Amino acid sequence: MFGPLTEERVKQFQKDHNLTADGIVGPKTLALLIPSVASTALKLKKSKRRIDWIVVHCTATPEGKDMTVEQIRKEHIKNRGFKDIGYHYVIYRDGSIHNGRDVDVSGAHVTGYNSYSIGIVYVGGLEEQKPGVAYNKLKAKDTRTEAQKAALLSLLVDLKKLYPKAKIQGHRDFSPDKNHNGTVEPSEWIKACPCFDAKSEYRRLD
């Protein structure tokens, strides 16, 4: 229950941490309320490259299905011809964060922006696969577990400390604005990845 007393406590917490005391538990407030998963799970290495973008992806796998760094790496090498896994960080369904490609090496996750970006992927992104339904017929879905949401937010907060000028966007936000109206609309997405509005959700971190 989020009533007047809770709102009052949130505002006081925000004041104590030099945040805007609006009573809204946004990304910056939440990041201070939860443990720093990224910091405790692995030691983040700052890239020697210039980083302008932090890009969020999904693995485009069915809800409830696990996938490891090694599985993604093998798929990327065998089926896509990459030299290594394309992403720099992978977030499992249990919220654990794992290293992928070395951050000093350009990733292979968003065409045209790899040289100056960090790629993060969470396991999931498609609806649960039911008997008789082909994989290519599955619909995009934000399948992030609560643990993944907390881990992703924490990782982004820590990465922003390393790259304060970098902008956070989802893969789909790099799609071309074909009608030149200043907005990348769903009909213009190259793909739905990461299957939620990362740019809007994490705008307060920018």
Which one from 87, 122, 163, 202 is the annotated catalytic residue?
87
Residue 193 is a catalytic residue: yes
Residue 163 annotated among the catalytic residues of the structure: no
Residue among 76, 92, 171, 195 flagged as catalytic = 171
Helix, strand, coil shares of the chain, percent, nearest 5, are 35, 15, 50
Q: What is the DSSP letter of 58?
A: E
Pairing of strands 125-126, 61-62: parallel
d(CA 179, CA 190): 14
Catalytic site residue from 11, 65, 98, 191: 191
Locus of tokens 């030099």: 18
CA-to-CA distance for 159 and 169, rounded, in angstroms?
Answer: 13
DSSP 3-state of 70: helix
58 is catalytic: no
| Active-site annotation holds for 76 | no
| CA 194/CA 118 separation, integer angstroms | 15
User: Among residues 89, 160, 193, 202, which one is catalytic?
Assistant: 193
User: HSE (CB half, 13 Å, CA atoms) of 198?
Assistant: 28
Using CA atoms of 24, 140, 63, 78 in order, give the dihedral in degrees to the nearest 10: -120
Q: Catalytic residue positions?
A: 57, 87, 171, 191, 193
